Structures are given as structure tokens and as C-alpha cells.
């Protein structure tokens, strides 16, 4: 970490800062540069609150240099590859994983029909929400454990890995008992107890970007899971809140190359929740692949008009087939095969 002062040779200020570093954070420091304006703090400074120093009168800037997300950082690792089930590898340069299924699991028939649609398209991960974070308390909030049973049954029947969301700590174990991947939703990205619990889980966890989270906050949230010993973390860019109201959320496409540079973790794009309308999902998905996503997660439904949640953005059979054609074409253009 580097602390740059406004003035040259301000000995009392330098002493004050160095004492604070030593006493509060147990950090050694030394003065560097000819004019005595830069205090260098070598080693790990992830525990240092840089705002404390930024707010000191006479400090011009503070640069952590080292990333505060040590485990998520790309510094020591190029890519993390996660085997979701034998033969289904997420995060490899050569492959693209597509996850699809209903927003909510609604009934045995709906789950089976949707799983068949996913399987027919030749992709390998089935999604389905059993615990639903809904904006209002009166909306359908999922089938709970009964839904997870239907998801597992469909996954086994069609030979696909499964993913479902956990909204609280108790649900992490429950979802992990039934599904291959545990999803943490956008609204829970900064639920730190939930992240710690996900860190203790031994199944892959897909963390969705918070509605107004910066990429640094996103990676720090992932860091909680990694720090708990769970190294199978998947990031999901699902759009952020901006002033724009035509699309449901604004897909931050630039986050793909940026995250690729910042972290080794696999990155999935969710074109459904950002587009908000089924007819916009395909092009959004294709843009995600072109920007370097390792995977996509897409909401589909045999009869979107009957869906109990997110029907307007769910692809029907025809849209799903067409979207998969586009996905295969763009994947080929970026030299990836769809698993």
C-alpha cells in the first residue's frame, strides 16, 4: 500500500500515520522517494481500512496496490475450472456452459416438460428456483423442498447437473443436498452470514452480482466464500440498476473483460433478468458470449404466459431453439464448444 502526502517532509504527519499503521493494523511502513512524501506499507494490507488514511488532513491519496480480494484475484492464478458433473467443465477456455430452466419450479409436469426442452437443446445444466426472492410478499415464493425434489428428479432423468437458489443459511444445506450448484441471488450478494455459510459448503456456488454492486464489492463478496474454503465459486453478471427503464436491468458488458482481468473465477451471464423481455434475451445472450462469458443462465418455460414468476422474460420453445442456434454460432466464432 502507498500513502502519498500533500506536503514534502511533514515529519509529524509521517510519524502520526506510521504510528497508526503500527498500532491499529500491526503494519510496518517506511518513507520512500526523495522528497519524503510517500509512505510504503509492504505486505498484506487487506485488513487495513484505507478510508482511515484517506481522511487524514495532509494525505493526498492512498493506493492499496495489492487487491483486497486476495483469493479471487487473478494475480496468482489464471483460471478456475469447475467440474459440475463428469464431462461438464465450467471456466475452461474451450467450452461454454449453458444453464436453462424455469424461473420457478411450479409442478411435476412443468418441471419435466421444461427439463425435456433443455435436454433437447443439448445443454447440460438445468435451473429451477424452489425458494424465490420476490419483490412483493404476496407473489408466488416457490415450492420449497418439494420443488428441489422435482428438480433433482428431472436432473437425474435427463442426465443434467442442476442449480437452485438458497436465500438463507439453512437453505444452503438443503439446496446443496438436492442440487449440484447453489445459487446466491443478487439481493443477497452482501448477506455476509449467507456468504460465510456458502464458504463452508462443498458444492459449487454461483454468486449473482448485486443490483448496485461495484466489481470490487462483487469480488469481495466472492472472497467471503473462497475464504471459507470453498474454491468452487462462479460469478454471474445479471445486470445492474441504472436510470434506464426499458430494459429490466442494464447488462454491464464491460464487466466481462474487466472481471477476466481482475479474477480467475468463471463468469456466467444471465441475459434473462437484465433483458426482462423474452424477445430481447437472444441478442443479449449472444453479446455475453462475444464479450467472453464462460456460461449463460437462461429462463425458459413451455408456456411462459402461465409462468408463476418471470413469464415475460421466459423463452418459449421456439424462442429457445432459435436462441440456442445463435449461441452455437457465436460460440463457434469465439472458438468455444457448448457443453
CB 73 within 8 A of CB 262: yes
Q: How far apart are CA 41 and CA 30, in angstroms?
A: 7
CA distances from 13 to 10, 31, 35, 57 (A): 6, 12, 14, 9
Q: Single out the residue of 47, 68, 89, 49 nearest to residue 226, CA to CA.
A: 68
Q: Least distance (Å) from ligand PEP to the CB of residue 270? A: 6
Residue 129 as a binder of ligand PEP (CB under 6 A): the answer is yes
Of 223 and 270, the one with the shorter C-beta distance to ligand PEP is 270
- Rounded to 10 deg, the angle between the 192-200 and 215-227 helix axes is 40
Judged by CB under 5 A, the residue of 310, 314, 327, 330 near Mn ion is 310
Of 209 and 264, the one with the shorter C-beta distance to ligand PEP is 209
Residue 301 as a binder of ligand PEP (CB under 6 A): the answer is no
Q: How far apart are CA 211 and CA 196, in angstroms?
A: 20
Residue 186 as a binder of ligand PEP (CB under 6 A): the answer is yes
Find the part of the chain contacting ligand PEP (CB under 6 A) among 117-125, 154-162, 180-188, 278-286: 180-188
Q: How far apart are CA 189 and CA 241, in angstroms?
A: 14
Residue 133 as a binder of ligand PEP (CB under 6 A): the answer is yes
Helix (H, G, I), strand (E, B) or coil at 126: strand
Contacts with Mn ion, 101-130, as mask; x by CB under 5 A: --x---------------------------
Q: Least distance (Å) from ligand PEP to the CB of residue 243? A: 19
Find the part of the chain contacting ligand PEP (CB under 6 A) among 92-100, 173-181, 185-193, 316-324: 185-193
Q: Single out the residue of 224, 234, 169, 180 nearest to residue 202, CA to CA.
A: 180
Q: Please, what sign has the CA dihedral across residues 163, 105, 110, 311?
A: negative
Residue 36 as a binder of ligand PEP (CB under 6 A): the answer is no
Judged by CB under 6 A, the residue of 90, 103, 143, 268 near ligand PEP is 103
**Contacts with ligand PEP, residue ranges (CB under 6 A):** 103, 129, 133, 185-187, 208, 238, 270, 273
**Contacts with Mn ion, residue ranges (CB under 5 A):** 103, 310
Amino acid at each position: 500500500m502507498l500513502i502519498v502526502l500533500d506536503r514534502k517532509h511533514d515529519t509529524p504527519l509521517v510519524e502520526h500515520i506510521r504510528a497508526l499503521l503500527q498500532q491499529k493494523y500491526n503494519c510496518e511502513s517506511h518513507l520512500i522517494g526523495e522528497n519524503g512524501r510517500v509512505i510504503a506499507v509492504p505486505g498484506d494490507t487487506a485488513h487495513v481500512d484505507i478510508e482511515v488514511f484517506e481522511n487524514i488532513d495532509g494525505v493526498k491519496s492512498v493506493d492499496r496496490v495489492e487487491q483486497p480480494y486476495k483469493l479471487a484475484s487473478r494475480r496468482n492464478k489464471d483460471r478456475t475450472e469447475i467440474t459440475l458433473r463428469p464431462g461438464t467443465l465450467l471456466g475452461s477456455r474451450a467450452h461454454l456452459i449453458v444453464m436453462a430452466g424455469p424461473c420457478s419450479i411450479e409442478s411435476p409436469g412443468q418441471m419435466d416438460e421444461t427439463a425435456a426442452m433443455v435436454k433437447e437443446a443439448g445443454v447440460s445444466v438445468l435451473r429451477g428456483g424452489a425458494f424465490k426472492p420476490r419483490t412483493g410478499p404476496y407473489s408466488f415464493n416457490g415450492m420449497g423442498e418439494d420443488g428441489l425434489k422435482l428438480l433433482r428428479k428431472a436432473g437425474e432423468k435427463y442426465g443434467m447437473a442442476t442449480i437452485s437458489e438458497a436465500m438463507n443459511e439453512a437453505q444452503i444445506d438443503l439446496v446443496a443436498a438436492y442440487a449440484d450448484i447453489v445459487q446466491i441471488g443478487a439481493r443477497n450478494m452482501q448477506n455476509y452470514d449467507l456468504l460465510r455459510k456458502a464458504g463452508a459448503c462443498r458444492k459449487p456456488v454461483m454468486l449473482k452480482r448485486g443490483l448496485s454492486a461495484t466489481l470490487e464489492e462483487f469480488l469481495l463478496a466472492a472472497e467471503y466464500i473462497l475464504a471459507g474454503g470453498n474454491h468452487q465459486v462462479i460469478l454471474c453478471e445479471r445486470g445492474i440498476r441504472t436510470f434506464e427503464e426499458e430494459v429490466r436491468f442494464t447488462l454491464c458488458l464491460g464487466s466481462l473483460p474487466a472481471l477476466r482481468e481482475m479474477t480467475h473465477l468463471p463468469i456466467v451471464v444471465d441475459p434473462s433478468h437484465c433483458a426482462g423481455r423474452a424477445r430481447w434475451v437472444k441478442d443479449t445472450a449472444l453479446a455475453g458470449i462475444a464479450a467472453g462469458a464462460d456460461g449463460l443462465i437462461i429462463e425458459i418455460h413451455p408456456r411462459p404466459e402461465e409462468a408463476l414468476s418471470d413469464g415475460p422474460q421466459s423463452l418459449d420453445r421456439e424462442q429457445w431453439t432459435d436462441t440456442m442456434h445463435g449461441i452455437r454460432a457465436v460460440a463457434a466464432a469465439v472458438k468455444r464448444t457448448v457443453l
